[in-house]
Amino acid sequence: MQGIVVIKCGGSTMDQLPDSFFQAIAGLQAQGQEIVIVHGGGPAINNMLDRVQITPQFVDGLRVTCEDTLRVVEMVLCGSINKALVKRLTQAGAKAWGVSGIDGQTLLATKTPRPLGWVGEIKKADTTIPKAILGQGYVPVIAPLSVSEDGAETFNVNADVAAGAIAAALSAEKLIMVTDVPGIMQPQPDGTKAVVPATSAEEIQEMIQTEVITGGMIPKVQAALDALGQGVEQVVICRGTAEDLLGVCAGQAVGTTVRMNVNYVQRGGK
Ligand SMILES: Nc1ncnc2c1ncn2[C@@H]1O[C@H](COP(=O)(O)OP(=O)(O)OP(=O)(O)O)[C@@H](O)[C@H]1O
Ligand SMILES: [Mg+2]
């Protein structure tokens, strides 16, 4: 594989990620694979909000960020989570360098007009810093905070949206969205749920309307489609295991591959 691989590490699964997952990243890095990590932090943010007695609020899977919440989000994402990831990568033998979307205005945003509080709409993902870090032989580990053009305001951004924007700006070959489920799950006639191996924009709209896809999976699939629309070659939603990660990198069918449209799938395209 030649192109850049962006891995979005879901906050949902951060505590469960095994050493072997980070060792797999270290192994890929040692082979010369360029990897960029963007991480979330949902549960850790909620834990800290709980400790300071703020009740988390969500609309369509997106966090509502009041001013106090923003302070906690910045502290947890740029601080403890970012550094925890860098340390686990380092322990696994990878070279990792933590930054946030604020640094170097990597994620430039304006305040969303939606009633979500201090949430940014990304206007530009600047790849100068991620590329510089890659150029030094490190994995950039990016916390999904964004900054206004004048540098004065910080905005929260959903980590999937941030990862999609960074993957698109880097013209990444793959965006791998690591989460706490093995892919998009769909109810089966026998009452069980099964992973959807591949899906398209049309099917995703239907699954959102029929509430098969809810909560945090909504921004995830939307970010996946946006990234594909902006030139990322492949987006996969999967678990945070070495097996899944290495499988996706080797081109195997793992998790859910999101594609632009059904015809493309039927033609056997990527
Ligand atoms: N059809 C679906 N298939 C799988 N998961 C779904 C589906 N619909 C909703 N979900 C929910 O989406 C969740 C994953 O999104 P979530 O935002 O919670 O995690 P994340 O994006 O990995 O973490 P973070 O937001 O902290 O970065 C799953 O745990 C599941 O509860
Ligand atoms: Mg999420």
268 is in an annotated binding site: no
Report which residue type is found at 165.
A
DSSP the chain: --S-EEEEE-GGGGGG--HHHHHHHHHHHHTT--EEEEE--HHHHHHHHHHTT----EETTEE-B-HHHHHHHHIIIIIIIHHHHHHHHHHTT--EEEEETTGGGSEEEEE-SSS-BSBEEEEEE--HHHHHHHHTT-EEEEE-EEE-TTS--EEE--HHHHHHHHHHHTT-SEEEEEESSSS-EEE-TTS-EEE-SEE-HHHHHHHHHTTSS-TTHHHHHHHHHHHHHTT-SEEEEEESSHHHHHHHHTT---SEEE-S-HHHHHTT--
Pocket test for ligand 1, best of 12, 21, 156, 235 (most atoms within 8 A of CB): 12
With a 6 A CB cut-off, is 215 part of the ligand 1 pocket? yes
- The structural domains of the chain, ordered by start, are 5-266 (3.40.1160.10)
61 is in an annotated binding site: no
For 39-98, write each residue's pLDDT tens digit.
999 899 999 999 999 999 888 888 899 999 999 999 999 999 999 999 999 999 999 999
For 175-223, write each residue's pLDDT tens digit.
999 999 999 999 999 999 999 999 999 999 999 999 999 999 999 999 9
